[in-house]
Amino acid sequence: MNTLLKNKNIVVMGVANNRSIAWGITKSLHNAGANLIFTNRQERSKQKLEKLLAQNEIDPTLIVSCDVADDESIVNAFQEIGEKVGTIHGLVHSVAFANRDELNGEYADTSREGYLLAQNISSYSLVAVTREAKKLMTEGGGIVTQTYLGAERVVPNYNVMGVAKAALEASVRYLAEDVGKYGIRVNAVSAGPIRTLSAKGVSGFNDKMSVIEEKAPLRRQIDQDQVGDATAFLLSDMARGVTGDVLHVDSGFHIIA
């Protein structure tokens, strides 16, 4: 336990189950003393979250539903958070989606609809939630999203999601400039491969995992807790001079040629 985020109200978006990166983040934020507000898209995820919270003796401040594909849902979610919690100090965006059949083969075969869907859920959603969250961040705050190396380099099969993450990382920089004047910082964590529900069944995932143990400087896999601690750092006052940045939590893999 530490007091890095004591009495801070932080919204966490994207816990689907115990393997979710957002669940690793939840544990780190809880250990740092934060009060936690959650949003889910699916009812099933909400039920899993409630069970996990009870098992881990974490008392949530609030759980609200939020589909980031829907502006009204986003506005309503943050309105409810504002009414029931008041000021918030942090937001964790851990949400992405692309059609599974576009996550292999040639990127050039991406459909217009599939391209727009990946951008909508995985990139534009950060813009929309930042707009609503900043209204509640009256004391300043931190926003952290989750990205992947496929934004910077061509990673086989990541395809349309790589382009969505490139837009997400550019958005982090533009948003950081916008909200910096309100004392709000915006950053991303770029995690190495972690076996989660999203990663399940997508081609090429196992190859990406094994190469980390071979080539990354630390020669070991990345887990949700490492991403959680880095996210807690970025949300905390320890990172008060850091904004518009991408912090790699990938055992150093990205530095290797």
Tell me the catalytic residues: 148, 158
CB 68, min distance to ligand NDP, A: 4
Pairing assessment for the beta strands 62-65 and 35-40 based on DSSP bridges: parallel
Residue 98 site contact among ligand NDP, ligand KAL, none (CB < 5 to 8 Å, cut-off depends on kind): ligand KAL
Angle at 178 between CA 73 and CA 147, to 5 degrees: 65
Touching ligand NDP, residues 139-178 (CB under 6 A): 146-148
257 by Cβ neighbours in 10 Å (0-12 / 13-18 / 19+) ranks as exposed
Cβ atoms of 119 and 68 within 8 Å: the answer is: no
CB 140, min distance to ligand KAL, A: 29
Cβ atoms of 123 and 69 within 8 Å: the answer is: no
Rounded-to-integer distance, Cα 222 and Cα 30, Å: 20
Tokens 């004047």 belong to 181
CB 197, min distance to ligand KAL, A: 5
Tokens 């790699």 belong to 248
Stretch that binds ligand KAL, among 55-63, 81-89, 128-136, 190-198 (CB under 6 A): 190-198
**Which of these, 180, 250, 188, 198, lies nearest to 222 by C-alpha position?**
250
Tokens of 88: 């918030």
CB 212, min distance to ligand KAL, A: 9
16 part of the interface to ligand KAL, by CB under 6 A: yes
Instruction: Pick the closer one to ligand NDP by CB: 32 or 194.
Output: 194
Residue 202 site contact among ligand NDP, ligand KAL, none (CB < 5 to 8 Å, cut-off depends on kind): ligand KAL
Residue 68 site contact among ligand NDP, ligand KAL, none (CB < 5 to 8 Å, cut-off depends on kind): ligand NDP
Residue 100 site contact among ligand NDP, ligand KAL, none (CB < 5 to 8 Å, cut-off depends on kind): ligand KAL
